[in-house]
Amino acid sequence: MPEHLSVGAVFAEWLLAVTTSMLLVALLAFSLFVGLTLIKNIPTSHQQAFVSFSSAVAGISLVGAMLAAGQSSHFVLRILGGFAVVGALINVAGGFLVTKQFLDESKTDSDVETDSETDSEFNSETPSN
């Protein structure tokens, strides 16, 4: 222990570190509880909107990951920031794919027939060579 630090200062620093760590663990546990409760209680009819909203939040985390990767001065932190960017990109892309799948599944048979009629009308109007 350095001579210029008193025992009280070292104890206060240790207590602050332990308190911060405990607070972060409690926050993680609380967010897991709230997230799982929300996901479990969402009706099937509202899942599409929930996934779309989650994609928007993932876009915000992508911006944060890019800022963290670009502003860090240490090489290891840049590598970790790069992994965060890749993970956020996968999350955003997956959210868009799931949303597209929900939208495709929610089409009714009349929507599919209308789309096929529009395609056949468009194809009949194009001149053939």
Q: What is the pLDDT of residues 14-58, one digit of tens each?
A: 777 777 778 888 888 888 888 788 778 877 777 767 777 777 777
Structure confidence at residue 110 as a pLDDT band (50, 70, 90) = low
Q: Which domain holds residue 91?
A: 46-124
Q: What is the pLDDT of residues 61-104, one digit of tens each?
A: 888 888 888 887 888 888 888 888 898 888 888 888 877 887 78
24 and 51 both lie in a single domain: no
Please say whether the beta carbons of 111 and 53 come within 8 A. Answer: no
Q: In angstroms, rounded to a whole number, what is the distance separating the alpha carbons of residues 67 and 7?
A: 39
11 and 70 both lie in a single domain: no
71 and 112 both lie in a single domain: yes
**113 has pLDDT over 80:** no
The first and second tokens of residue 93, run together, are 């892309």
Domain count for the chain: 2
69 and 31 both lie in a single domain: no
In terms of average pLDDT, the best of 45-49, 94-98, 114-118, 125-129 is 94-98
Q: In angstroms, rounded to a whole number, what is the distance separating the alpha carbons of residues 81 and 78?
A: 5
Determine the distance from the C-alpha atom of residue 126 to the mean position of all C-alpha atoms in its chain, rounded to a whole number.
43
129 falls within a domain: no
| pTM across the whole model | 0.49
Q: In angstroms, rounded to a whole number, what is the distance separating the alpha carbons of residues 113 and 116?
A: 5
Q: The tokens 């495709």 sit on which residue?
A: 104
Residues 6+ apart with CB under 8 A from 51: 95, 98, 99, 102
